[in-house]
Amino acid sequence: MDLIQFERVSKRYVIGQRMNAREAVAQATSRLLRRGASPSSELWSIKDVSFSVRDGEALGIVGRNGAGKSTILKILAGITAPTSGSSRTRGRVAALLEVGTGFHPELTGRENIYLNGAILGMSRRDITLRFAQIVDFSGVDRFLDTPVKRYSSGMYLRLAFAVAAHLEPDVLVVDEILAVGDAEFQRKCIGRMHEAEAEGRTLVFVSHDLDSLTKICQRSLWLEGGEIRDSGPTPTIVRDYLNSGLAPAERGHGLAITSGPITVAAVRVRPDSTVAGGADAALMFGDQLRVEIEFDVSAETPGLDLAVMVTTGSGVRVLDELLSEQSITRFTPGSYRVEVLIPPLLNAGDYSIGLWFGTPHEEFLAEPAAAMFSVHGGDPTRPDRIVAAKLPFAVHRLASINVVD
Ligand SMILES: Nc1ncnc2c1ncn2[C@@H]1O[C@H](COP(=O)(O)OP(=O)(O)OP(=O)(O)O)[C@@H](O)[C@H]1O
Ligand SMILES: [Mg+2]
């Protein structure tokens, strides 16, 4: 039985729709005066998207920033309506979209747990049965009787996830929870989603963490520019998505991804021994690799930071390095080239370079496949290891044994 049915769904946004009440009134008035003049600019966030999810199935959604992933989840959760087409869900849907969606700020943590349970159609008794588990998972027990408006964003998030994941929804919809929270909490979330999947709940999961997505979701959709580019078994989709990297990095072709104040102009990977700007050199097993990222910053952005990721062709994240962990750099508006050296440890295989730009409060760009590269050579008899570090061994003889015939 299909619990989710999305039929030819499209969603149009009017650009500049994120405005306050006064601006909205002003715009409505001027539109009235101009008598039906159409708004200046529209954007189709998703176009003609159809899919269905069976009872007990876990569906993943991948796609670059702005591809329309969150829009699909918001429509699924009934937070926004499609412009055309229809979205039907059966059963209780619990959605974890933006931090705290569905929480009432004036109510305490305890009251919000009951409120959310009631919204999901659960009886007081059912909620009480689950209450201890939710509180335990969230770790906010000391603040249960504090209004959630006084919670830190981390506490808010932990409680929201605990509620969404434990209140036995038929359909659990989760958007990028893994981007926030500490490593321990992320592990708990992934664990809980595995359990939900094993319990036979229907899941829809959007994430840039392709490794977790592969572990949890059997099937995935790949969105591009608001349309479904492909769908199928997650490992296949993840591989094709990663391999669609905007440019083969070895050749250093230009690309331009703009998001917020950032425009990424080029991503290159070359053996460290070649001179910058040198010929296309193949990357060989045992080379130290130099990753070069060229980008422009168009506005003063306090706290701007970047991360460089390396992911295998099957979606396992091997490296995820944050600039601010190594050096404090202030990016005033201008053009930059950042270089990162990767020691010679990657085994032969296909990899993609991911980029992240943001501040502690805001994410501008999260692109798991900005470019791809291949490492050649290596030991063909042992292909199934990602890292070949050539670690030093020490052998100590502790005693000798006399062998008697
Ligand atoms: N409320 C809104 N008003 C105007 N445009 C919007 C609104 N919400 C989304 N959009 C636009 O719709 C498009 C799809 O956005 P959406 O948030 O669904 O993408 P996404 O795939 O979730 O991206 P990300 O990976 O960055 O989370 C984007 O171009 C976005 O700017
Ligand atoms: Mg999103």
Instruction: Compute the distance from residue 405 Cα to the ligand 1 centre, in Å.
Output: 78
Based on the domain organization, do 254 and 372 belong to the same domain? yes
User: What's the whole-number mean pLDDT along residues 178-191?
Assistant: 71
Residue 400 in any domain: the answer is no
Based on the domain organization, do 338 and 256 belong to the same domain? yes
Based on the domain organization, do 216 and 320 belong to the same domain? no
Based on the domain organization, do 17 and 85 belong to the same domain? yes
pLDDT tens figures, 81-102: 999 999 999 988 888 876 556 7
Based on the domain organization, do 228 and 143 belong to the same domain? yes
User: In this structure, what CATH number is given to the domain that contains residue 365?
Assistant: 2.70.50.60
Q: Which ligand 1 atom lies nearest to the CA of residue 64?
A: 25
User: In this structure, what CATH number is given to the domain that contains residue 79?
Assistant: 3.40.50.300
The CB of 10 under 6 Å from ligand 1? The reply is no
Based on the domain organization, do 302 and 335 belong to the same domain? yes
Q: What distance in Å separates the CA atoms of residue 353 and residue 371, rounded to the nearest whole number? A: 5
Query: Which of the ligands is closest to the CA of residue 39?
Result: 1
Instruction: Compute the distance from residue 171 Cα to the ligand 1 centre, in Å.
Output: 23
How many other CB atoms are there within 10 angstroms of residue 271's CB atom? 18
Looking at residue 232, its pLDDT comes to 95
pLDDT at 278 over 80: no
DSSP per position, 132-160: HHHHHHHT-GGGTTSBGGGS-HHHHHHHH
Residue 403 in any domain: the answer is no
Q: Which of 10, 43, 207 has most ligand 1 atoms within 8 Å of CB, for mutation?
A: 43
User: What's the whole-number mean pLDDT along residues 208-233?
Assistant: 91
Residue 163 contacts residue 155 (beta carbons within 8 Å):
no
The CB of 69 under 6 Å from ligand 1? The reply is yes
| Residue at 79: amino acid letter | I
User: What's the whole-number mean pLDDT along residues 165-178?
Assistant: 83
Q: Which ligand 1 atom lies nearest to the CA of residue 176?
A: 27
Instruction: Show which of 191, 219, 242 is a domain's final residue.
Output: 242
pLDDT tens figures, 312-355: 888 888 999 999 988 888 999 999 999 999 998 998 888 889 99
Residue 301 in any domain: the answer is yes
Based on the domain organization, do 117 and 15 belong to the same domain? yes
Based on the domain organization, do 22 and 147 belong to the same domain? yes
Q: Which ligand 1 atom lies nearest to the CA of residue 223?
A: 21
Based on the domain organization, do 231 and 251 belong to the same domain? no
Q: Whose CA is nearest to atom 31 of ligand 1?
A: 66
Q: How many domains does the chain have?
A: 2
Instruction: Compute the distance from residue 143 Cα to the ligand 2 centre, in Å.
Output: 30
The CB of 17 under 6 Å from ligand 1? The reply is yes
Instruction: Show which of 193, 211, 242 is a domain's final residue.
Output: 242
User: What's the whole-number mean pLDDT along residues 179-206?
Assistant: 81
Range of 145's domain? Answer: 2-242
Q: Which of 13, 176, 223 has most ligand 1 atoms within 8 Å of CB, for mutation?
A: 13
| H-run or E-run covering 228 | strand 227-233
pTM of the complete model: 0.67
Both structure tokens of 115: 């409120």
How many other CB atoms are there within 10 angstroms of residue 165's CB atom? 26
Based on the domain organization, do 371 and 256 belong to the same domain? yes
Residue 90 in any domain: the answer is yes
Instruction: Compute the distance from residue 209 Cα to the ligand 1 centre, in Å.
Output: 19
Instruction: Show which of 199, 225, 242 is a domain's final residue.
Output: 242
